[in-house]
Amino acid sequence: MSLQDMISRHPQVDDKTEELVLAARHAMLCSLFCTSCADADVAEEMDMQQCIRNCLDCADVCASTARLAVRRTAQNIEVLRAQLELCILACETCADECEKHDNPHCAKCAEMCRECAADCRKALPLVH
């Protein structure tokens, strides 16, 4: 299944949406990575309170970003741009925190967050 194919079938989509679709797809995936990382953080013996909070905040922001990015009818460009900027901030904040910890789940989460932030950065100038 292709998200790009689904969105291209929308009656109001007549432009290239590849970067925004990639950002949406990776934002949803990042949401799942962050949720999984937060759950793994609970099982760690060290204090992971800040990491859990950052992961859960990032998961929520990423999920919202993905949903807003695929809505094409009567799009609110200013809100979408603000959401992409918020997603970049949430992902960078989460990655910075996860990189402080020496465990494999945080390393993967940080990697996904960096990728998601980069994708949102690429999509942002094309949203107008």
Residue 7 has pLDDT above 90, yes or no: no
User: What count of other Cβ atoms lies within 10 Å of the Cβ of residue 125?
Assistant: 9
The residues, ordered by sequence, that sit 6+ positions from 127 with a Cβ below 8 Å of its Cβ are 20, 77, 80, 81, 84
CA dist 47 and 63 (Å) reads: 26
Which has more confidence, 7 or 70? Answer: 70
Are 123 and 20 a contacting pair, CB within 8 Å?
Answer: yes
pLDDT digits (tens, 9 = 90+) for 17-69: 788 889 999 999 999 999 999 999 999 999 999 999 999 999 999 999 999 99
The model carries a pTM of 0.90
Q: What is the percent of the chain where pLDDT is above 70?
A: 88
